[in-house]
Amino acid sequence: MKGKWQCRTLPPNKASKRRIALLSIHREGENSNADVQVQTKLHPSDVTALLAGLRERGLLEINNKNRWATYRISKTVTETYKEKPIKKTDKEKLGLVKSVGRKNTVLLESILTLSAEPRSAQEIADAVGRSRNYVSNQCLSLLIRMGRLSMTDPANPKSRNQKYVVKR
């Protein structure tokens, strides 16, 4: 049995709590123990242990070591993970993301080509040889989020007369 003053152990999903703490500190620039406690919903002693562990790993720096310490992402981490200029390939110039995969990139390119004139989801699905549900849920929604495709009736996204066209 634990003693009254012993620190509780971190829950099994401690990796996600670490990520939440790091993202919160990165977003805000600087956070205190109390800020991280609100974000992670952990006990104050667990937050102290979490922040100490991140400090020991070199991910965080402590600003002032008095009672109200604040934490920020360490300079070595920010310098290591600075954004590097990206060389755009032809596919990236089209606005297609690499994370979609080669097969899906070809599929998305063909959908963009087909959508030069307004077409329904069923017409696009028939042309590319996929189901209407797959094309609507996976491809069209992605292209709309990317800003490459637009709906002819954006006020009624589920309309049976909805058509999709390439944004110009």
Specify the CATH number for 14-80; select among 3.40.50.720, 3.40.50.2000, 1.10.260.40, 1.10.10.10: 1.10.10.10
pLDDT of residue 6: 40
- For the record, the structure tokens of 94 come out as 């089209």
Q: Give start-end residues of each CATH 1.10.10.10 domain in the chain.
A: 14-80
**Helix residue ranges, H only, 1-155:** 14-28, 33-40, 44-56, 75-80, 90-94, 102-114, 121-128, 132-134, 141-145
Helix axes 44-56, 14-28, angle to 10 degrees: 80
- Quickly list DSSP for 26-60: HHHS-EEHHHHHHHHT--HHHHHHHHHHHHHTTSE
Q: Which of 142, 68, 74, 76 is nearest to 104 (CA)?
A: 142
Residue/partner pairs of 135-138 with CB below 8 Å, 24 or more apart: 135/111, 138/104
- Which of 84, 88, 113 has its CA nearest to residue 97? 88
CATH code of 90-166, in short, is: 1.10.10
The owner of tokens 């979490």 is 50
Are 114 and 132 in contact, with CB atoms under 8 Å apart? no
Give the tens place of pLDDT for each residue, 30-75: 888 888 888 778 888 888 888 888 888 888 888 876 677 888 888 8
pLDDT in tens, the chain (168 residues): 444 434 444 445 666 777 777 777 777 778 888 888 887 788 888 888 888 888 888 888 888 766 778 888 888 777 776 655 545 554 454 454 444 555 577 888 889 988 999 999 999 999 888 899 989 988 898 888 888 899 999 899 889 999 999 987
Q: Is the pTM of this model over 0.75?
A: no
